[in-house]
Amino acid sequence: MKHYILFGPPGAGKGTQAKLIVEKFNLLHISTGDLLRKEIALGTPLGLEAKQLINDGQLVPDEVVVGMIQNTFAAHPEVEGFLLDGFPRTIAQAQKLDQILQESGGQVDKVLSLAIKDSTIFDRIANRAKIEGRKDDADPAIIQNRIDTYHEKTEPLIEYYKKKGNYCEIPGEQSIEEVFDCICKVIG
């Protein structure tokens, strides 16, 4: 069972690449952002809790997303592997993931990190706002919060995975096809 992490700041292109990767490599895509948006759309208690935090550009609590990941792993014992998109986003989430995978004899096989500049993040998210209509994409102050949260809480994961030796950085400002080619070279 393979476990790949698609890593990068908001707007780095994780969702776009995830679709291409899971199709080519026959993996199950787990996007914590998509799972949370589903809970919000269904109006579940979890969704109600998450909605406010997401619309403020903050992270939801670690135990919430860890629970969603564990449920999805448990529901899909048949798959060849998983592509995690938007998880882990904190050191605590990464440590918990290591623990969960160790218990099942697995590991994080590769961290595919899409690198882009903060100014590109802004441009891409503003563009996405027009297409997808996400509330957390619509307000520059919220976008800035998400970028700040990324630098403070998520970026430290780069060192975490570099130390483990499974970190691969991919320049994220190339075309969609060029980024995908780089990813294929890493996991193909």
Residues that bind ligand ADP (CB under 6 A): 10-11, 14, 32-33, 36, 53-54, 58-60, 65, 86-87, 89, 93, 136, 146
DSSP letter at 78 equals T
Q: How far is the CB of 36 from ligand ADP (least distance, A)?
A: 5
**Backbone torsions φ then ψ of 160, nearest 5 degrees:** -55, -50
Q: How far is the CB of 9 from ligand ADP (least distance, A)?
A: 7
Treating both helix axes as pointing N-terminal to C-terminal, what angle do 62-75 and 32-42 enclose, rounded to 10 degrees?
100
Comparing CB distances to ligand ADP, the nearer of 50 and 182 is 50
Which of 14, 51, 96, 110 does the annotation list as catalytic?
14
The yes-or-no answer on residue 117 being catalytic is: no
The yes-or-no answer on residue 14 being catalytic is: yes
Comparing CB distances to ligand ADP, the nearer of 58 and 166 is 58
The yes-or-no answer on residue 134 being catalytic is: yes
Which of 89, 96, 110, 124 does the annotation list as catalytic?
89
Q: What is the DSSP string of 123-152?
A: HHHHHHHHHH--GGGS-HHHHHHHHHHIII
Q: How far is the CB of 168 from ligand ADP (least distance, A)?
A: 19
Which of 37, 38, 128, 153 does the annotation list as catalytic?
128
With a CB cutoff of 8 Å and minimum separation 6, the contacts of 66 are: 93, 96, 97, 100
8 A C-beta contact, residue 14 and residue 8: yes
